[in-house]
Amino acid sequence: LAKTTQPISMDSYEGQEVNITCSHNNIATNDYITWYQQFPSQGPRFIIQGYKTKVTNEVASLFIPADRKSSTLSLPRVSLSDTAVYYCLVGPTYSGAGSYQLTFGKGTKLSVIP
């Protein structure tokens, strides 16, 4: 089971770059790393997904070192609207017996300060 560990909370000023790291020491060969953003009273929203090296889209970058035991979500120039909880999801790890073990961590609460 690829358990994930993230910082509980982070603060950042508007306009700064924010990096949130997720540790997943037991990641399996077939696991992907996916990040989601969640605002209060809403369901999570997909941000980015990667397997190795670096992935970039219009909102974020995802850095994954060669050993894949951690990953870093990078949000460029955050604004107040980026205040949310960010979850790192590692998987799926098919364990056999019909279990894909999709496991979200506890998330990182990002607070952007004006």
Partner 1 sequence: GAGVSQSPRYKVAKRGQDVALRCDPISGHVSLFWYQQALGQGPEFLTYFQNEAQLDKSGLPSDRFFAERPEGSVSTLKIQRTQQEDSAVYLCASSLSGVTSEQYFGPGTRLTVT
Query: In this complex, which beta carbon is closest to partner 1, that of residue 7 or of residue 92?
Result: 92
**What residue has token string 């790890």?**
93
Burial 74-110 (b: 16+ CB within 10 A, else e): bbeebeeebbbbbbbbbbbbeeeeeeeeebebebbbb
Restricting to residues 27-46, name those near partner 1 by CB under 8 A. Answer: 32, 34, 36, 41-46
Of the candidate spans 21-29, 61-69, 70-78, 85-93, the one that interacts with partner 1 by CB under 8 A turns out to be: 85-93
Binding site for partner 1 (CB under 8 A): 32, 34, 36, 41-46, 49, 87, 91-92, 97-107
